[in-house]
Amino acid sequence: MERLYQKIDRRKSNTIKVGKVSVGGNSPISVQTMTNTITSDIKSTIAQIERVTKVGADLVRVSIPDQDSSKALKQISKKSKIPIIADIHFHYKRAIESAINGASCLRINPGNIGSKEKIREIIKAAKDNNCSMRIGVNGGSLEKKILEKYKEPNPEALVESALNNIKILEDNNFFDFKISVKASDIFLATKAYEILADKCMYPLHLGITEAGAKRTGSIKSSIGIGKLLLMGIGDTIRVSLSDEPEEEVRVGYEILQSLGLRHRGVRIISCPSCARQEFQVIETVKNLERLLEDVSEPITVSIIGCVVNGPGEATMTQIGITGGGKNTHMIYLDGKKNHRIKDKELVPYLEKLIRNKAKEISKNKI
């Protein structure tokens, strides 16, 4: 028996390319993160990009605050297996250098760049190098005129800023861009996205910016991003955490998987454990998550410590285990009882089962 998901009708949007990744339209909702290394430290930045790639990042953004960073991008982009988004603020030459040096996308606010001529130069560099853009409106860095008009960041202010920037690109015959209207306040951000979604057909990049540390930020992002996704809004997401970027990717996939929008890797359904548990559920789950992080095939696994809910959950997963007492446990495969195990080390035993299932799924794709 498969788990049921509510069908979500996604908002119709244009499709753009960020390197090899399609964003918008019917493309899968992509997960991105951002490096926190010094970009000019090429070795460290590449190492971090390799780590986020391993856990499933589709896109990665790097900050380009100076010329050393834009120069480093030439080597970084060649080594990266996923498209690079260059994060640009104010300095138009950094944007041009990034496009030339291998960036697949420029995160930029045209209104902050300055003269129309500078904007035209950036657009030319983007066109010449097959580089898309993201208009990145942020509640914490709105234009002075917008703040003077609205007195404070609010949904209407974010949307007006976005529309102003959209017009600049459209007036220069550039349409390969996505848009974000982020804020650290969930209600401010989600309302801005709702309004903007009705005013344009460009792909939308979702995020609750400066969401906080791992626990707080994950909860805030899940509520804000999850609400918008349930409404069909959103084409790519980033979970902003004061944590390692790998964690942002993990949480991003959890949000998408929980809504049935994307399935990647091992999804474990487990009980919180209680006095009825017949094995150490919490430690088993922690160890399996760590060991199976490299598995990309979508697999559902239920790990339940007793027979109260275990059999029911196991019928809805590809691999399941229930605690049965006296160190004897029932193993379910594809929702059906398959065999009992006794006196086994559970973690290596389950890891082998799951990896074999991943190989089977991969083989059947060919």
Give tens-digit pLDDT for 60-108: 999 999 999 999 999 999 999 999 999 998 899 999 999 999 999 999 9
List where CATH 3.30.413.10 sits in the chain: 266-365
The CATH code of domain 266-365 reads 3.30.413.10
Task: Provide the pLDDT for residue 156.
Answer: 97
CA nearest neighbour of 296 among 353, 347, 350, 355:
355
- Rounded to an integer, the average pLDDT of 262-280 is 92
- Rounded to an integer, the average pLDDT of 318-338 is 93
Asked whether the predicted pLDDT for residue 191 surpasses 90, the reply is yes
Of all residues in the chain, what percent carry a pLDDT higher than 90? 87
Task: Provide the pLDDT for residue 3.
Answer: 55
Q: Which CATH class is domain 15-258?
A: alpha beta
Asked whether the predicted pLDDT for residue 4 surpasses 90, the reply is no
pTM over 0.85: yes
* Confidence band of 1 (pLDDT split at 50, 70, 90): very low
List where CATH 3.20.20.20 sits in the chain: 15-258
What does pLDDT average to over the chain?
Answer: 94
- Rounded to an integer, the average pLDDT of 124-131 is 97
